[in-house]
């Protein structure tokens, strides 16, 4: 196998492991819903309440949670695919607390610092449900 073939195989393997495709074009835009009535919405609303009580920290990192666990503030959400209102400033936060430093899951809330609107994403930014 030539180095070009090996390189292509490694690239395709890495893309597959990361959930991407080396052959497809850009991902389709996420779906955005103006209400939240799916499983997890009440957990997202509860997490939002706690993050709000912490003043919505804007620095990335682990923050102490009321039950002795931690939750992660992910910092700026860049809205690169334009799913949410353009030109606004967004920050993202984990929904489910865990031990500090533990592996993060895909559940997020995204807060629009311009309007105060909050969205729940149960699938790491593939869909957004307004809380």
Fold of 28-130: Nuclear Transport Factor 2; Chain: A, (3.10.450)
State residue 17's pLDDT score.
44
48 close to 55: Cβ distance less than 8 angstroms: no
Statement: residue 11 has pLDDT above 90:
no
d(CA 50, CA 95): 10
77 close to 58: Cβ distance less than 8 angstroms: no
d(CA 110, CA 126): 12
What's the half-sphere exposure (Cβ side, CA atoms, 13 Å) at 93? Answer: 33
Statement: residue 102 has pLDDT above 70:
yes
In the chain, what are the domain boundaries?
28-130
Mean pLDDT of 45-68: 96
d(CA 111, CA 94): 11
**Please, where are the H alpha helices in the chain?**
3-17, 41-53
């Amino acid at each position: 196998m030539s180095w070009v073939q090996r390189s292509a195989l490694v690239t395709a393997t890495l893309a597959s492991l990361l959930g991407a495709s080396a052959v497809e074009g850009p991902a389709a835009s996420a779906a955005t819903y103006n209400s939240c009535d799916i499983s997890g919405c009440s957990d997202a609303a509860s997490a939002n309440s706690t993050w709000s009580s912490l003043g919505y920290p804007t620095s990335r990192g682990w923050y102490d949670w009321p039950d002795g666990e931690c939750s992660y503030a992910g910092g700026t959400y860049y809205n690169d695919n334009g799913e949410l209102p353009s030109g606004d400033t967004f920050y993202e936060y984990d929904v489910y607390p865990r031990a500090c430093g533990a592996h993060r899951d895909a559940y997020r809330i995204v807060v629009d610092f311009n309007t105060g609107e909050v969205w729940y994403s149960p699938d790491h930014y593939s869909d957004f449900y307004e809380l």
